[in-house]
A = this chain, B = another copy of it.
């Protein structure tokens, strides 16, 4: 199949090879019907664009780009009807507006926080470390899902020989950047998410939360709340499945959408406490959210773990120093980074055929700490 050339495709489709080339490199510039005809001809002929051939034509840059896909904010404050892709999803309790309350305990008014609150920085530093060790240069770019021009610029980084390949941090499987990169046959690996048809270093989000909720149910919790947002679809599935297996009901009033910040967790926990029937455990979308939950429970005089047990996600360094120390889910980030980098280099160098997908789901580890100690009566 490596014998078929772009000219064979052009002949079969009845277009010039320039048009075929345009479909390969700038599919967005080709009319839909033309593109469909040419893509059908490619399939008929088993045409695969040769990455190795393309790599030989241009000097490798020995650079890779990490691309953060950004959602137009505030996605996490949208109603979380889309939290679960499954038909048995419950509509969950109303999302908590971010304008509700400020940070607690401030004696002077806080200026709006201009800095992103995220752990992506740690992942980027791990990539910087691994790329450095292998003599590669790391580039960092951002791409908003509602910015087609920015997306095209990202996709062209490789054809312009600025980088040899991309690592994509996407929050959604249907992020339009992923579809564009596939269409343009750009070497890329998805980090974090398990995206069908792409090389992936994926985190077992569903299993991770499943393990945590199963542990809570096994050790006495009967009303487990879940704080997440639209980004948490896989984590929510783990929550839902574990409840079902434990014979516990999925209660809409215990699922609250919130943005993935301590402020979001604080507000969402207060909202949960104000409901008629309180949870006896809360699984937070990540550790930052969980820190906000711990603070809200503390401010309301609710004992942790005595009255409500709390679980986070990511096991950031501060989790062990939360009050009480936070049970969390440890992610093998450095292993994932190494796998993503090694895969990308193999694809770039042509040692891995384009249709031989490298897909690995990385297991997490539940780290038990004070916040989920067995429940004791008051």
The answer, among B288, B318, B365, for a CB contact under 8 Å with A262, is: B318
| Contact between chains at A125 and B132 (CB < 8 Å) | no
Q: Which residues of B contact A334 (CB under 8 A)?
A: 114-115
Q: Which residues of B contact A129 (CB under 8 A)?
A: 142
Q: Would you call A117 an interface residue if the criterion is a C-beta within 8 Å of the partner chain's C-beta atoms?
A: yes
- Contacts A121-B121, A141-B128, A333-B115: A321 and B369 contacting too (C-beta < 8 A)? no
- Contacts A105-B370, A108-B367: A292 and B321 contacting too (C-beta < 8 A)? yes
Complex Cα gap A320–B292 (Å): 9
Interface residues of A in 136-151 (CB under 8 A from B): 137-142
- Contacts A115-B122, A141-B138: A106 and B325 contacting too (C-beta < 8 A)? yes
Q: Would you call A126 an interface residue if the criterion is a C-beta within 8 Å of the partner chain's C-beta atoms?
A: yes
Q: Which residues of B contact A126 (CB under 8 A)?
A: 114-116
Q: Which residues of B contact A325 (CB under 8 A)?
A: 103-106, 295
Complex Cα gap A265–B110 (Å): 26
| Contact between chains at B162 and A106 (CB < 8 Å) | no
| Contact between chains at B317 and A261 (CB < 8 Å) | yes
Q: Which residues of B contact A162 (CB under 8 A)?
A: 137
Q: Which residues of B contact A369 (CB under 8 A)?
A: 105-107
Q: Which residues of B contact A128 (CB under 8 A)?
A: 68, 140-142
Copies of this chain held together in the complex: 2
Complex Cα gap A117–B317 (Å): 7
Which secondary structure characterizes the binding site on chain A? mixed
- Contacts A115-B122, A124-B121, A139-B137: A103 and B321 contacting too (C-beta < 8 A)? yes
Q: Which residues of B contact A294 (CB under 8 A)?
A: 321, 323
Q: Would you call A330 an interface residue if the criterion is a C-beta within 8 Å of the partner chain's C-beta atoms?
A: yes
Residue of B nearest to A331 (CB): B115
Residue of B nearest to A125 (CB): B116
| Contact between chains at A140 and B138 (CB < 8 Å) | yes
Complex Cα gap A295–B373 (Å): 17
Binding site for B on A (CB under 8 A): 63, 68, 103-108, 110-111, 113-122, 124-126, 128-129, 132, 137-142, 162, 261-263, 265-266, 288, 291-292, 294-295, 298, 317-318, 320-325, 330, 333-334, 365, 367-370, 373
**Can you list 13 A-B pairs, Cβ within 8 angstroms, ordered by A?**
A63-B139, A104-B321, A107-B369, A110-B367, A114-B126, A115-B334, A116-B126, A118-B122, A129-B142, A132-B141, A132-B142, A261-B317, A266-B321
Closest 9 interchain pairs by CB?
Answer: A121-B121, A105-B325, A103-B320, A117-B317, A107-B368, A295-B321, A262-B321, A114-B334, A323-B323
